A and B are shown apart, each in its own frame.
Chain A
Amino acid sequence: MITTNPSLDQEKQSRNDLNEMLQEIFALTWRLFIQLIRRPSTLFAGILQPLIWLLLFAALFSNAPIDFLPGGSSYGEFLGAGLIVFTAFSGALNAGLPLMFDREFGFLNRLLVAPLSSRSSIVISSVIYITSISLLQSFAIMATSALLGYGWPSMGGLLLIVITLLLLVFAITGLSLGLAFVLPGHIELIAIIFIANLPVLFASTALAPISFMPEWLGWIASINPLTFAIEPIRMAYHNSVDLNAVLINAPYGEVNGYSCLATLLILTVGLFFLIRPLLNRKLA
């Protein structure tokens, strides 16, 4: 007589579900990488734009007064952290575009008709892809910056940079994927990306410290998520990694490294919970 153990069956089933989900995620992520390999212009543009900025802005402000920047660093050194974060931010902000095109051209329907183990695979594959690309682009900026003599972080600093970038990229990717489901088409999504990109950069500490800004802009910069990512990375470049150190002298008070990372974490988790019902509804 053959008997079955229900808990073993259940375990086998969930292992099977996991395998199926991994198969889906791998296939969908691989598709995005094939697109990138065959159409690499966006990857290179994402690296070239910040590099041009680095060269031009560093040259533009090379004769700035010594006390203009905290710690007496050169403008190139100061700018590096801002551009690393900007690169990751721009990349993540574009995360919704492939999904939006899939919606518009009906490819998403092809995915939704398939008996996916979990439709979260569609979102997870986008997050993996964008995170990899954003990190790759950021490291390209770091490498060039090092070649230009603006330094290279310690191992601890490198870890801090990766953690900071991951938190920022997850948050912004989630936001962009959410927008890709809410907006009617890619034109609207691109318009939002254009509108958001540069103002968010200028209203952060990427290009100038808060002390250099008018009060109203200082307020905006000190609540801008980019600032919370830039300052820990700037610390990782210039000092030993001490998350207790004050990194932002905001108009509302001092913010240390831990607070910066906690803010980014809260933003990521908050955005995840905000878009989850939307994704559930759209992918139901």
Chain B
Amino acid sequence: MFFIQLRDLFKSYGSVRALNGLNLQVPKGSLYGLLGPNGAGKSTALRIICTLLAPDSGSVEVGGSNALLEEKETRRRLGYVAQDVAIDKILTGRELLQLQGDLYHLDKKHKKKRIEELILRLDMHDWIDRRCGSFSGGMKRRLDLASGLLHEPELLILDEPTVGLDIESRSVIWGLLKELRNNETTILLSSHYLEEVDELADEMAIIDQGKVIASGKPDNLKKELGGDRVTLRVREFSDEVEAESVRKLIKNINGVSNVVVNQKQGYSLNFLVQSNDVISNLSGHLSKENFEVFALSHSRPSLDDVYLQATGKTLMDAELELAGKRDFKLENKKSMR
């Protein structure tokens, strides 16, 4: 059973298309990771689920209800922890939680009990009565997470919850998310940290240019690649022609699959090998065609490899590429109500 179902979502900011036919199904009670570079459309998708944005077209179902029509019901069921922590610097942490409790119509007794529980669970007792303006990034994020959880939502949505956090805060947040998942809360988490999604997510989707390009369990996605990942360079800086010649050569070797030329990494070649024997014989095959092995690395496949396989570039490169194209001013303007 799916708790969230997005179908054919399209959303543009001016001439920039943020979502391009996004389809997503999040199973009830799972911790679902959305992986993709900044600007891939993750935040836009989350803001639509939270009823903060309306899509240009498509449908959004949350807990069996049409989130575009039954907005209030949807809001009641979810907790949202935004990418940019929005807190009132003048209020103390406790006052902010009390305000949040009133906005979710908790009665006085229940509100007090929940606030105390969360203060204890997120280890906030030492600083909760200080003004929010004096909090570090980690404290703010913990407080924000506590506000998202105050009304015990069925669905928790987190947009890049650990960006720029210290190790202690990250560990507290990861621990809580695992605990919530075990208590059947559905969690949708966006991140561009591979290890975060790998560590936490039961299932995940990779988003690129506003649509899902791969989805499933992280282990399955890695296994589907069919072997270990090898990165090869035949020269420090190859050119396109040379890389293409090597690609043609390598793809015909028995036990090699999914050969991709990574233009951003000096036309290196990334491919999968089924056994170590293939690597041992690789230099022999290359020398026959007068190529040398300048550098070769061999590793178990990671989610970055899954991403690389699907897009032809690493997550980091995609991030850098998108950073140059994004119009942050326009995005900010559009995200303001």
Contact = CB atoms under 8 A, between A and B. Distances in A.
Contact of B99 (A27, A106, A181): A27
B184 interface: no
A113 B95 CA distance: 18
B90 A35 contact: yes
Which of B90, B103, B147: most chain A Cβ within 10 A? B103
Interface string B46-87: 000011100000000000000000001101101010101011
Contacts of A108: 336-337
A184 interface: yes
A114 B337 contact: no
B52 A24 contact: no
A103 B337 contact: yes
B103 A107 contact: no
B91 A116 contact: no
Interface residues of B, number: 30
B100 A106 contact: no
B115 to A, nearest CB: 14
A283 interface: yes
A115 B75 contact: yes
Nearest to B131: A38
B157 to A, nearest CB: 9
B51 A113 contact: yes
B104 interface: yes
Nearest to A184: B333
A155 interface: no
Given A31-B91, A39-B90, A283-B337, A114 B100 contact: yes
B102 interface: yes
A76 B335 CA distance: 50
Contact of A109 (B82, B88, B95, B104): B82
A112 B328 CA distance: 22
A95 B292 CA distance: 72
A34 interface: yes
A10 B292 CA distance: 81
Contacts of A254: none
Interface string B308-335: 0000000000000000000000000101
Contacts of B121: none
B135 to A, nearest CB: 14
Contacts of A35: 88, 90-91
A6 B77 CA distance: 26
B102 A113 contact: no
Interface string A99-120: 0000111111111111111000
B102 A23 contact: yes
A57 interface: no
A113 B75 contact: yes
B105 interface: yes
5 contacts: A38-B90, A104-B336, A115-B72, A115-B105, A116-B72
